[in-house]
Structure 1
Amino acid sequence: MEVVDQWTGQLAGALQKALRLTNEGFAGELGTAVRTVAKWNAEPELVPVPEIQRALDTLLCRAPEDARARFARIAATESMSPDEAVRSRRLLTSVGGAPSSEAERRLADDRNITAALQWLDKQTGGSPGRSRKAVAERLASIDPCELQDRGRRRILISREQIANALTEYYATGLGEHQPYSTQVDGQSVATSVLVRKQWLDLGLDLAEGDRLRLDDDPEAVVSVVVDELGADAATQRLAETLITNARIINSPLYRLTGIDVSHEAIEGTVGVTDFVSYALTMDLLEAELIDALAEGRPMVPGSLPLRDRYLPDVNTVVNVDRRLCAGGALALFAVARPGSRARRGTPDYLLLIQERSGHVLNSARRLAVIPKAFHEPLVDYADDTQLAATLEREMEEELFGRDDVDSTEGGLVDADPMHPTRLSEPMRWLYDRAGGSHWRMECTGFGLNLVSGNFEFASLIVIEDEEWWTRYGGRIRANWESHGLRRYSTLDRSVLKSLTLDPAWSNEGLFALTHGLRRLADIDDQRVNLPTIE
């Protein structure tokens, strides 16, 4: 059964008609007010809040088969926008209990799924086509409603629960490495990001201090052996990816092969792997952990079989040259604004925070800073090792609307997508003023995330020239990876304290947020009124 990407008042009204419910009955099923249902009927373009979006998903999934068929017909025949019409036509062909035609099409034709299946055949020593058959059989056995229910159970697991569980699992052998924690106005907050003291509060200018280079040693290639347990988990991941229509693109990724971080520089080497190798091995550990927490299982070696296999101890975590260690850069984005009447004429910084989309494969529905990206080459494997290259590309993609630098859209055909002549206006303004006092890009901290073993370069992007916001503030728009975009003022101390204590944060997102706020206070204490972060 197809999952509706985004409910509108019109689609909600179609579901109400299909279920033959009054406004009162429909509101009761969803746990919302009658006036809210009436408003959807009056404003068909209205997008319900995330909690109601999830309730509508559940109501559709659990509806009788005849009601789902009516919903698809009503949605297809009523007046809709072009995007909604496409969604409804897909719904009309997938209201039965079997996997949707879209999932079957992708299994047959999607070159990225094919690459994943071929990789799995190779790593397991299976005959060609064996993994495709296994995924097809798994598709037929998956209950979409159970999949949605499990997704909702996962959302209820907080960042703190994840952090505490991993601290318990890796309690033996932490030594000089410790999970990063902080205090916000005296209230403790824990994360799963493993750090050393010299990796924190860096304030490194990425134009000067980033010395990551490409590792051309052929011995740097890591061979991943996938046993029966790993193959079963990878098969399940691929089947669920098809059912939920999540994106999986087999693009190249950098993997860390050596690292030495200090307050003077980031020294290190990266090799090249591919996304499929990561998605079907290390990235499986997050779901295994969260499901175990939801089921109340103990967090000790032996209770998490995939983690026992791929990331069993702290020694494995920190020796990045002996395992597949993918990861990325994520940055707190802060823009100087002139004073306004609402802020009593006091200038501030605007902060942007995202809620991750349900269509991303990791940190789905979690809060995160933006931009956030895997560290990966765009076109030049040597030059693109610089963290600034990833962050600038992600600003273009995630904030400024350029989809031609989005690696999830397919192969890149331009020789230099980040050439000055190709840049968006907001990015070109920054490019022309690089190296001055108008803006800066810094690495604020480094850590290894115990969730999946990822490396995390926490960063800060600060635009200090108010002219930029005046010119381009209206041009910022998050892409498909974000379910929603929030904005905060650095003058709202109590609001920012509540934000940092929100349990919905991803661990790496909170790591970047708290480090970014600390550094922002050092840069300009006149525009900020922040909680104390120690």
Structure 2
Amino acid sequence: MSNEAFASRLGAGVRTVANWEANPDMVLSPGMQEVLDAALKDADESVQRRFGMLLAAQEGTSSPTPADMSARPSQAGERPSPDAAVEASQTHWREVRQYLIESGIGLAARTADLYDPTLRVEHVPAISTAAWLPSEPVPLEKVTLDWEDNPHKARITGIEAEARAALPLRAPGHAFTRYTAAIRYLRKPALFENRHSYRLTDIDWSEGAGRMTFGLATFFDKLDVSEPLGHEAAAAELAGHLDWAHLPFRGLVSDPFDLSSRIVNPGISTLTIRRNTSDGSGTFFLLRRDPTQVTNGRHYSLLPAGEFQPASISPQSVATDLDIWRNMVREYAEEMLGQPEHDGSSGVPVDYEVWPFYRDMTAARKAGTVRPFALGVILDALSLNSSIATTTVIDHTVFDDLFHDLVATNPEGEVVFSLDDNKSIRGLPFDEETVKRLTTREPLGQTSAACLTLAWRHRAQLLDV
């Protein structure tokens, strides 16, 4: 901000400052103090330095900066200013969120212990129910997706009184009304856009097939519930009380499998197995997620994994992209080949029929050398985010051809070829030792761990051709 703009913004406040210079004992009104603080926040360094010199002349001290002024401790018995309360609230929010990022995997395991142990997906911190898990892998061509034009309104949206403890102050007397707004203004990752997402409203697995029903929602609709759930748990654990009595917002979600209580926008987690056709063994890959790029970083996830979303804002995309396979292929192209992301912001639908990589993947699928399966739907016990667990088994010669240009990094993190630095394009061995290590000792995300566990449970069917 220029000096002229600074003076214009202060307006009558400048005259008050002049009066204050002549009468340093004068106390500014709260309104004038707010104007002054706002102007100084946006002023350039020279203006801030000149104002500091003015204060120094009045106080007989070295020139303080506006930051020094806000950090100056109050005198004993002095009431803290409203702005100090805002700063303290936001600082605490950031500290809790940092703990959530740093300790998310362990916190998820401890949160999972709050639920009926029969809901656990074996030993990993993810939960599901028998109605959401088929008894065996379902070939993707046997999974039908239906559309619902007007899905029911969710009862829990993240604006309830029970969620307010997770929402910091944005100004004196005013808290952020939604958690996503707090993320955007206080700790925004590089990838943070409110895109259309498919909302799961019904699910059924029977007779070796599956049927899911979806409506339309947004990415933030999900985050405004799932992120406060995680934040609340982190705050409770920091205070030494990770129990139901100190988790009022989580208590509202009395049945996490009730698809009418909140908006459930699933992601798709895919275990990609490169199958050696000579001996039937398999390898797979992970992504080490970067917390500066994505909201839930600093852990491993399967590769690829992403939100189930249309590829563009076009109404045509909403209809044509309601397809698990198309979503998976887009994620393969983005995360494993480094191709531009179909991030949902374009107005132009993807023309799948002329896209070479999609055509090659689909042709290999029809030939039986690429075999995608659905393993069920699972919930992260901490956030209660859902994921459609899938696996794709690809014959090694076809894999090496399709993914000849496999990248080492992508916009969300680093591709992991090995846990012990002996990197090979062949990836991590799909064996008991590696699966156990990842699901018990390594920071593997909850839904990824559950997907890997389910795939290992059904390994004989997946690898037997």
> Equivalent residues in 2 for 1:377-392 (5 A)?
377-379=310-312, 380-392=317-329
- Residue number in structure 1 paired with 2:129: 195
Contact 2:145–2:211 (CA<8 Å) still a contact in 1? yes
Alpha-carbon separation, structure 1, partners of 2:430 and 2:273: 12
Contact 1:448–1:456 (CA<8 Å) still a contact in 2? yes
Report the CA distance shift for 1:413/1:504 in structure 2 as closer, same or farther (over 3 A): same
Alpha-carbon separation, structure 1, partners of 2:333 and 2:365: 16
- Amino acid in the other structure paired with 1:437: G
- Amino acid in the other structure paired with 2:129: V
SS at match of 1:460: strand
| 2:152 counterpart (216, 220, 241) | 220
> Equivalent residues in 2 for 1:417-436 (5 A)?
417-424=350-357, 427-436=358-367
Contact 2:268–2:308 (CA<8 Å) still a contact in 1? yes
- Residue number in structure 1 paired with 2:15: none
> Equivalent residues in 2 for 1:305-384 (5 A)?
305-309=248-252, 311=253, 313-314=254-255, 317-336=256-275, 348-359=281-292, 362-379=295-312, 380-384=317-321
What's the offset of the Cα at 1:156?
Answer: 5.2
Deviating above 4 A after TM superposition, structure 1's stretches of 4 or more consecutive aligned residues are 96-99, 137-141, 146-152
| 2:99 counterpart (153, 169, 175) | 153
- Residue number in structure 2 paired with 1:485: 416
What's the offset of the Cα at 1:307?
Answer: 1.6
SS at match of 1:475: coil
Report the CA distance shift for 1:349/1:277 in structure 2 as closer, same or farther (over 3 A): same
Contact 1:159–1:503 (CA<8 Å) still a contact in 2? no
| 1:242 counterpart (162, 182, 185) | 185
- Residue number in structure 2 paired with 1:285: 229
Alpha-carbon separation, structure 2, partners of 1:337 and 1:98: 66
Alpha-carbon separation, structure 1, partners of 2:380 and 2:257: 10
Contact 2:148–2:214 (CA<8 Å) still a contact in 1? yes
SS at match of 2:328: helix
Alignment size in residue pairs = 366
What's the offset of the Cα at 1:496?
Answer: 4.0
Alpha-carbon separation, structure 1, partners of 2:132 and 2:257: 15
Report the CA distance shift for 1:156/1:475 in structure 2 as closer, same or farther (over 3 A): closer
| 1:297 counterpart (241, 264, 267) | 241
- Residue number in structure 2 paired with 1:508: 447
What's the offset of the Cα at 1:204?
Answer: 1.0
Contact 1:401–1:479 (CA<8 Å) still a contact in 2? yes
- Residue number in structure 1 paired with 2:27: none
Contact 1:202–1:444 (CA<8 Å) still a contact in 2? yes
Contact 1:335–1:464 (CA<8 Å) still a contact in 2? yes
Alpha-carbon separation, structure 2, partners of 1:338 and 1:489: 17
- Amino acid in the other structure paired with 2:450: F
Alpha-carbon separation, structure 2, partners of 1:289 and 1:508: 18
- Amino acid in the other structure paired with 1:376: Q
- Residue number in structure 2 paired with 1:59: none
- Residue number in structure 1 paired with 2:335: 398
**Cα distance per residue 1:191-229 (max 9 Å; x no partner):** 2322217714531111x211121112x352436562355
**Cα distance per residue 1:225-250 (max 9 Å; x no partner):** 62355456352653344343313211
Report the CA distance shift for 1:484/1:152 in structure 2 as closer, same or farther (over 3 A): farther
SS at match of 1:306: helix
What's the offset of the Cα at 1:306?
Answer: 2.3
The structure whose Rg is larger is 2
Report the CA distance shift for 1:251/1:158 in structure 2 as closer, same or farther (over 3 A): closer
Report the CA distance shift for 1:259/1:494 in structure 2 as closer, same or farther (over 3 A): closer
Q: Give TM-score scaled by structure 2 length.
A: 0.68
What's the offset of the Cα at 1:286?
Answer: 1.6
SS at match of 1:473: coil
| 2:112 counterpart (146, 166, 171) | 166
Contact 1:336–1:469 (CA<8 Å) still a contact in 2? no
SS at match of 2:260: helix
> Equivalent residues in 2 for 1:30-45 (5 A)?
none
- Amino acid in the other structure paired with 2:108: I
Report the CA distance shift for 1:255/1:283 in structure 2 as closer, same or farther (over 3 A): farther
Q: Percent identity?
A: 18
SS at match of 1:289: helix
Alpha-carbon separation, structure 1, partners of 2:97 and 2:250: 20
- Amino acid in the other structure paired with 2:342: V
> Equivalent residues in 2 for 1:446-461 (5 A)?
446-461=377-392
What's the offset of the Cα at 1:449?
Answer: 3.7
**Cα distance per residue 1:417-464 (max 9 Å; x no partner):** 25232344xx44322323222111110222344433333211101111
Alpha-carbon separation, structure 1, partners of 2:402 and 2:221: 42
SS at match of 2:212: strand
SS at match of 1:281: helix
Alpha-carbon separation, structure 2, partners of 1:140 and 1:497: 42
Moved more, 435-444 or 235-244: 235-244
Alpha-carbon separation, structure 1, partners of 2:133 and 2:451: 13
- Residue number in structure 1 paired with 2:206: 262
Alpha-carbon separation, structure 1, partners of 2:377 and 2:266: 11
Moved more, 451-460 or 466-475: 466-475
Q: Give TM-score scaled by structure 1 length.
A: 0.60
**Cα distance per residue 1:242-297 (max 9 Å; x no partner):** 34331321111111111112352221311111122222233321222133224321
> Does the alignment pair 1:469 with 2:403?
no
In the alignment, structure 2 segments of 5+ residues that lack a partner are 1-44, 46-66, 71-81, 168-175, 419-426
- Residue number in structure 2 paired with 1:79: none
- Amino acid in the other structure paired with 1:392: V
Report the CA distance shift for 1:139/1:204 in structure 2 as closer, same or farther (over 3 A): farther
**Cα distance per residue 1:388-421 (max 9 Å; x no partner):** 22212211222222224123xxx21323x25232
| 1:179 counterpart (119, 124, 141) | 119
- Residue number in structure 2 paired with 1:105: none
